[in-house]
Amino acid sequence: MVWEPWTGCYPVSAGCKYCYYYGLYSKRYGQNNIVKTDDFYKPIETIYMPRKKITKYRIESGKIVFTCFTTDFFLPEADQWRVEAWDMIRKRSDLTFLFLTKRIDRFKISLPDDWKDGYENVRIGCSIEDQESADKRLPLYLSFPIKHKFIVCSPLIGEIDLSSYLQGIESVRAYGEAGKEARECDFKWILNLHEQCKSAKVQFDFVSTGRNFRHNGELKKINPYIQRKTARQLLPSDDGNADIQFE
């Protein structure tokens, strides 16, 4: 279940350079404008069931709601809309809201008053792409009160040492960059991340090779249709603690 209360974005760091939602797609669909969507009230939309004579929420209880995947939940342009978004998230405590951000530095100023040590039904993932973004965002991320924490390396464009940032992290996921202009992803970096996670007993998933993938020193172009499958074949998922599948 996807919820895009607003759409549009703009780059914040090197990882954004070829972002699908900022680049071509945004030009075609005018997504450089940050706008509220028609789906804004989706979590609290109801339907009437004439036979049973009851009104119920359109989104059934227990679902995971993937939120703001074509934008960033913490965009400053969305500050005024976010207040209502938090109200809906609070109201639908029977759903799990999951989002990623490259703007974790805006966490504190974007919170509702009653956040305290975090809402149980909110999972916020910190998105990083290289060592520079890891060193900048992860110390902040680890210091914030969030009930469920996970790291997403997307797009992975350099080797990252995460070993000092894994305490309290539930999982790490890694994606090579997609698209024609993609920067390369080296399988050595993936294996290295996997080892770091193993040592820290954190679940690791290699989700996608991306377009330009270096394997055993050789750079290969991977067809978009098999990027995920190839990643799974090279490094099957650690499924020990997996409770959420993004795809």
The continuous run of DSSP H or E covering 143 comes out as helix 131-143
Yes or no: say if 171 and 193 are a contact pair by the CB < 8 Å rule. no
Of 53-72, binders to ligand SF4 (CB under 6 A) are 71-72
Minimum CB distance to ligand SF4 smaller for 71 or for 208: 71
Phi, psi of 13 (to 5 degrees): -160, 180
Among 4, 16, 187, 196, binds ligand SF4 (CB under 6 A): 16
For residue 227, the minimal CB distance to ligand SF4 (Å) is 17
Minimum CB distance to ligand SF4 smaller for 154 or for 171: 154
Is 9 a binding residue for ligand SF4 by CB under 6 A? The answer is yes
Yes or no: say if 189 and 159 are a contact pair by the CB < 8 Å rule. yes
Is 21 a binding residue for ligand SF4 by CB under 6 A? The answer is yes
Among 4, 5, 6, 22, binds ligand SF4 (CB under 6 A): 22
Is 18 a binding residue for ligand SF4 by CB under 6 A? The answer is no
- 3 Cβ partners below 8 Å, 6+ apart? 39, 42, 43, 65, 66, 67, 68, 97
Block residue for tokens 């997504």: 31
Of 71-90, binders to ligand SF4 (CB under 6 A) are 71-72
Is 30 a binding residue for ligand SF4 by CB under 6 A? The answer is no
CA-based torsion, 78, 81, 87, 89: positive or negative: negative
Query: Residue 171 is encoded by which pair of tokens?
Result: 């999982």
| DSSP-assigned beta bridge partners for residue 148 | 123
Minimum CB distance to ligand SF4 smaller for 102 or for 106: 102
For residue 210, the minimal CB distance to ligand SF4 (Å) is 14
Which window, 11-19, 112-120, 156-164, 210-218, contacts ligand SF4 (CB under 6 A)? 11-19
For residue 185, the minimal CB distance to ligand SF4 (Å) is 16
**Which alpha helices (H) appear in 3-130, and where do they start and end?**
24-29, 79-91
Distance CA 222, CA 47 (A): 44
Among 42, 82, 92, 102, binds ligand SF4 (CB under 6 A): 102
Minimum CB distance to ligand SF4 smaller for 9 or for 85: 9
- The total of other beta-carbon atoms located within 10 Å of residue 119's CB is 21
Question: Which residues of the shown chain bind ligand SF4 in the complex (CB under 6 A)?
Answer: 9-12, 15-16, 19, 21-22, 71-72, 102
